[in-house]
Amino acid sequence: MGGKFPRILACGDSALSVELADTIDEAVSERIIALAANLTATPVEGIEELVPTYRSLMVIYDPSVIRGHALDRELHRRLMVLTVNSVPARRFDVPVVYGGSVGLDLQELADMKEMTPAALIELHASAEYRVYMIGFAPGFAYLGGLPEQLHTPRLATPRQRIEASAIGIGGKQASINSVPGPSGWRFIGRTPLRLFDPHRPQPFLLQAGDRVRFRPVSEDEAAELDRAVAAGQPVMEAQLS
C-alpha cells in the first residue's frame, strides 16, 4: 500500500476518513470491511455511523462524546492489530431482463464492442461481481469484476432520469441503480429487485463484500417477479460460501 498509508483525514468536525490505499483492490476492500466489523463488534463510544468505500472507511462521530484527535489515536491503534479473517461471502443471484425501455444502451454497446446483444448479455452474465461500496444514492451498488471487454466510458452528457433497478456500466465498473435519478452510465437492463426499500427491516439489499451474479430472465418472468416484489414477497435469498 506504500508508506503514505494508512492515513486518517478529518472530514469536517464530525467525521474521519481512514484511507488504506489509492487504488481499487479486493485486499484493500477486505481490510476496510474488517475494520468496520471490528468497530461494530467492539464499539467506540461516540461513533455514530461507518461507511465503507472503495479504499477508505468513513467514521462519523459525535464530537460532544469523543474528540477527533482521540478517535484518530484509537483508529490507528485498531489498525495496528487488525486481522482480516476469512468469512463466508453473501452471494446473490440477481435476475435481469436485458434490453427494453430501461436497457436503452444494449444495442449501441453491442455495436461498439462488435458483438451481438446476445453475446454481450452472455459475457455480462458470466462474471461474478464484488460489491465494493454502497453510495451516491441510498442502496446504489458499485460493482467490481466487469469483464475487460465491456469496459466503456460514461456518456459525455448524462441523462436526466434513469429508473431504479437499472443495470449499468461505467468505465471499469458495473452498477445496480437503487432510486430514480440522473446518470451518465450506460444501461443494458433492469432487475425486478429493489436495492433500497425504507419499509424493510434492512433497507439496503446489498452491502460491501457481497458477491453478485446476474441471471438473464424473460419479460414474463420479470413481470412475475415485479408482482411478487410489489406484494412484499421474498423472491431471493443470499447464499453463504
Tell me the average pLDDT of the chain. 93
C-alpha span between 10 and 16 (Å, rounded): 5
Question: Does the structure show a pLDDT above 90 at 95?
Answer: yes
pTM over 0.85: yes
What average pLDDT score do residues 65-80 get? 96
Question: Does the structure show a pLDDT above 50 at 1?
Answer: no
Question: Does the structure show a pLDDT above 90 at 238?
Answer: no
Question: Does the structure show a pLDDT above 80 at 104?
Answer: yes
Q: Are 14 and 28 in contact (CB under 8 A)?
A: no
- Residue 2 is predicted with a pLDDT of 47
Give the model's confidence band at 86: pLDDT under 50 very low, under 70 low, under 90 confident, else very high: confident
In the numeric block, the cell 440477481 is attached to: 94
- Residue 103 is predicted with a pLDDT of 95
- Residue 85 is predicted with a pLDDT of 83
Own/partner pairs, 178-184, CB within 8 angstroms, 24+ separation: 178/137, 178/138, 178/139, 178/140, 178/141, 179/137, 179/138, 179/139, 179/140, 181/137, 182/158, 183/158, 183/159, 184/154, 184/155, 184/156, 184/157, 184/158, 184/159
What average pLDDT score do residues 88-109 get? 94
In the numeric block, the cell 476492500 is attached to: 29
Phi, psi of 221 (to 5 degrees): -65, -40
Count CB neighbours of 86 within 10 A: 6
What average pLDDT score do residues 209-234 get? 93
DSSP string, 26-94: HHHHHHHHHHHHHHHHSPPTTEEEEEE-SSEEEEEE-TTTS-HHHHHHHHHHHHHH------PPEEEEE
Query: For 128-147, how does the pLDDT look when each residue is reduced to its tens digit (9 = 90+)?
Result: 999 999 998 999 999 999 99
Q: Are 4 and 108 in contact (CB under 8 A)?
A: no
Question: Does the structure show a pLDDT above 90 at 237?
Answer: no
Query: For 140-182, how does the pLDDT look when each residue is reduced to its tens digit (9 = 90+)?
Result: 999 999 999 999 999 999 999 999 999 999 999 999 999 999 9
